[in-house]
Structure 1
């Protein structure tokens, strides 16, 4: 009589699919293992390759096997640290954490994920490879810089979700979340710019004008023009380039705000912004070709103030809300011309807030995207003229003459861009429906 045995559990795996998962896990393990091997660690290329491959097998087998393999890798990290302590090398906490992350990424690969484990492993490898740079940057942080970073995180992560959704108020003119997004966006641009300034330093007029213009173009113009004496030609060339670069950064920042907050509004003003940028950059390049910088002139130095603080956030928020409310009311009462007037006045206070207010009104449907784009260009014009007023106070004819001509060229380029759009826009409205009909 033949004995009967219970059938063992089996699983039919699609061969190519499992092979792809294992190959992905192996490549990711070798990526981080290569970095550890280069630093001479005990756990290197092969170890991390095996760990990620083992995690992929556990992920393919199921949850129970995944937890078992994760526990085994945890025991391996304990043995690694015990061995390191025996040879008086200290603990390998970073390598141990990398091993656990690698195992989890392998499990995700085994479960069929692709983008997520790849992104995690690339980030983990970057953290290991940038050890010196990250350590140097963190040690160089001051207490005020750290407080500003925490404040920015609180405003973005803690306060924003608590704000009410939609419009509030008797006339539905205020949208708290839209105002707060604008505050965070403008402050974030300044904070990133401050980090770049801290990493690369003030390397002459290029960084001074451009990076300073991203934070506050008027402050940069005041700082540069203050170094020019009324009857001296010293520093005129550097101040000229720096102010032009600050203007370039201001125009680029306003265009980016439109792109992020109301992309359709940028379509109508794209030609104006592009021509203004090209003109200002061409003038800067032409100034380098002149090569008339006086010998012995030192590169300008300027210490940027901390780009994010609570007063700065309140200023941007108050200006944005004021322009948003006044712009909506004047547009309802006086039409587009009323909104244009508010945009021009708003450019004197803050062109970034004026552009953000115009973009928000367009995204809410209060004004058309074309009107919002035109208002953003007008606010940029006002900011350029306001910056030039600071230069006029220095009574230096050489600088005033060159900058006045340059600003006129930039403004004319913007006006030409607006006229081009006004000419092309009707034809686009006429041809787009016909093209859609033919495609259908």
Structure 2
């Protein structure tokens, strides 16, 4: 059974090489994996000998390719070596790992054009941002103090940095998705833009409405509503990752905000002379940089300290007031702060959930103010006023229902 698995793994990877017409194809990869499986069955010395023999095969393959003036077969050589090691794993009795490696290897070989096209589209700034993200996550995070550094136990650098890395990674991934798919319609543009930065998205949509003298009102309306839905979804994901109990205590209102925003975005009242659903370009910069990371971390620590102080001095009302102000500045920071305080036992899940809801509603209110000030289009302002007002009302109703459910359960 181990040898049959090794053979199947080799044939699976070699199928792609055979399809591309490579010299090392289906049978070669099958033999390479089978050789590794035999080495794994017979013992460590035979496994090492099998890998060395594969190295000889790779050298012969590249020598033959260079002699025919076809260049070195680096990708095929790497795939052969990986397949040989995968066969060794099969011979040792592993099942899941070699199968996963085979699927991944076949995917890397098959998606050659897409991966190359994606890498060529990345700018130098985006590449630097990705490297900086890796440095902050794997180099700086391990050396940060794990325990709080203040006498009150509020500032825990490592816990705060985890949240910063989480937000930055989410924003960077969403930015890449927006870059890939954001020109295919305002629905994708508004939603993915809202995941990156809802404030920038709403501002840019409003600018497009003003520049076109109101011809893109219907487009901007849908984009703003979907950006609001994306903001609610992002906050829900943050709560789920940082404090599952806080998410449970805010699930109903966040779901109502998300569903009502999407539902209202689907209601189209386009005028006969209005243009089609053109997707405005959003000049979003890469959301991850040292400045943005430090800015978010400062906001997070500020909301944690001020929120805890407000909770101690003014009770629940103090924390809720801080959440509302945080939503006006950065709803992600306010929500992450509430979830972090809940995870460390400084806030109850109910209070943290309500604070996250208040921050989300405040962010939706900011979207309306931005449209009113930037677009200079009264019809759009009135339409969004009714829509966002309904969304905020449903959110408040959901918060009331959520608290009643929590009281009933307790």
Same fold (TM over 0.5): yes
Match of 1:283 in 2: 264
Q: Confirm or deny: 8 A CA contact 1:231 1:396 kept in the other structure.
A: no
Partner Cα distance (1:109, 1:230) in 2: 63
Tell me which structure has the larger Cα radius of gyration: 1
Say which SS state the counterpart of residue 351 (structure 1) adopts. helix
Say which SS state the counterpart of residue 258 (structure 2) adopts. helix
Q: CA deviation at 1:233?
A: 4.0
Q: Confirm or deny: 8 A CA contact 1:204 1:301 kept in the other structure.
A: no
Match of 1:247 in 2: 228
Output the TM-score relative to the length of structure 2: 0.95
Say which SS state the counterpart of residue 131 (structure 2) adopts. helix
Q: Confirm or deny: 8 A CA contact 1:160 1:180 kept in the other structure.
A: yes
* 418-427 or 292-301, larger mean C-alpha shift: 292-301
Is 1:305 aligned to residue 249 of structure 2? no
Q: How many residues get paired?
A: 408
Q: CA deviation at 1:229?
A: 3.8
Is 1:45 aligned to residue 26 of structure 2? yes
Q: CA deviation at 1:230?
A: 10
Match of 1:340 in 2: 320
Q: Confirm or deny: 8 A CA contact 1:377 1:414 kept in the other structure.
A: yes
Q: Alpha-carbon deviations, 1:356-409, whole Å to 9, x = none?
A: 000000000000111111100000011111111112224422111110111111
Q: Confirm or deny: 8 A CA contact 2:204 2:282 kept in the other structure.
A: yes
Is 1:384 aligned to residue 364 of structure 2? yes
Do the aligned partners of residues 71 and 231 (structure 1) sit closer, same or farther apart at CA in structure 2, a change above 3 Å counting? closer
Q: CA deviation at 1:179?
A: 1.2
List runs of 5+ in structure 2 lacking aligned partners. Answer: none
Partner Cα distance (1:89, 1:225) in 2: 55
Do the aligned partners of residues 255 and 294 (structure 1) sit closer, same or farther apart at CA in structure 2, a change above 3 Å counting? farther
- 329, 339, 345: which is aligned to 1:349? 329
Match of 2:346 in 1: 366
Q: CA deviation at 1:197?
A: 2.3
- 9, 16, 29: which is aligned to 1:35? 16
Q: Confirm or deny: 8 A CA contact 1:33 1:45 kept in the other structure.
A: yes
Match of 1:206 in 2: 187
- 59, 62, 68: which is aligned to 1:81? 62
Do the aligned partners of residues 233 and 145 (structure 1) sit closer, same or farther apart at CA in structure 2, a change above 3 Å counting? closer
Partner Cα distance (1:422, 1:181) in 2: 29
Partner Cα distance (1:190, 1:227) in 2: 23
Partner Cα distance (2:96, 2:314) in 1: 52
Partner Cα distance (2:408, 2:350) in 1: 15
Partner Cα distance (2:106, 2:5) in 1: 16
Partner Cα distance (1:306, 1:422) in 2: 38
Say which SS state the counterpart of residue 347 (structure 2) adopts. coil
- 326, 342, 349: which is aligned to 2:306? 326
Do the aligned partners of residues 77 and 230 (structure 1) sit closer, same or farther apart at CA in structure 2, a change above 3 Å counting? closer
Q: Alpha-carbon deviations, 1:279-318, whole Å to 9, x = none?
A: 111101122xx34364445442222212211111111111
Give the aligned CA root-mean-square deviation in angstroms: 1.7
Is 1:266 aligned to residue 264 of structure 2? no
Q: CA deviation at 1:86?
A: 2.3
Q: Confirm or deny: 8 A CA contact 1:271 1:417 kept in the other structure.
A: yes
Output the TM-score relative to the length of structure 1: 0.89
Say which SS state the counterpart of residue 286 (structure 1) adopts. coil
Superposition pairs of residues 397-408 of structure 1, within 5 angstroms: 397-408=378-389
* 150-159 or 78-87, larger mean C-alpha shift: 78-87
Q: Confirm or deny: 8 A CA contact 2:254 2:357 kept in the other structure.
A: yes
Q: Alpha-carbon deviations, 1:138-157, whole Å to 9, x = none?
A: 22222222111111111111
Partner Cα distance (2:182, 2:364) in 1: 26
List runs of 5+ in structure 1 lacking aligned partners. Answer: 1-18, 430-440
Match of 1:60 in 2: 41
